[in-house]
Amino acid sequence: MPQNSTAPRILIVGGGYAGFYTAWKLEKHLRKGEAEVTMVDPLPYMTYQPFLPEVAAGSIEARHAVVAHRRHLKRTNVITAKVT
C-alpha cells in the first residue's frame, strides 16, 4: 500500500497471543486496501504457551510450540523491533 494512501492504518504493538490473533482476524475481515495493518514485536514468532509443558516433557518438539508471524500473516506488515 502506498505511503500517501488515505486508508486507515492500524498498529498492533506486540505479537503475542492477543496481537497475533488480532492481526489474523483483521486480515480475514478487512477487504484489500480497506486498511493497512502493521504489527511490531521484537521476536519474529509467537510462542504458543499451552504447549510448553509438552515441550518440557519431551512429548513434542519445540518447533511445534512457535508460530512464525510472517508465515501466517500474509497481508500484515510485520516489523521486528521494540516500541518505546
Domains in the chain: ranges and CATH = 9-80 (3.50.50.60)
List the pLDDT tens digit at each of the 84 positions of the chain.
555 568 899 999 999 999 999 999 999 999 988 999 999 999 999 998 999 999 999 999 999 999 999 999 999 999 999 999
Model pTM above 0.95: no
Rounded to whole angstroms, what are the CA distances from 80 to 40, 43, 52? 6, 6, 23
Rounded to whole angstroms, what are the CA distances from 77 to 15, 25, 46, 56, 71? 12, 14, 15, 32, 12
State which amino acid sits at residue 69. H
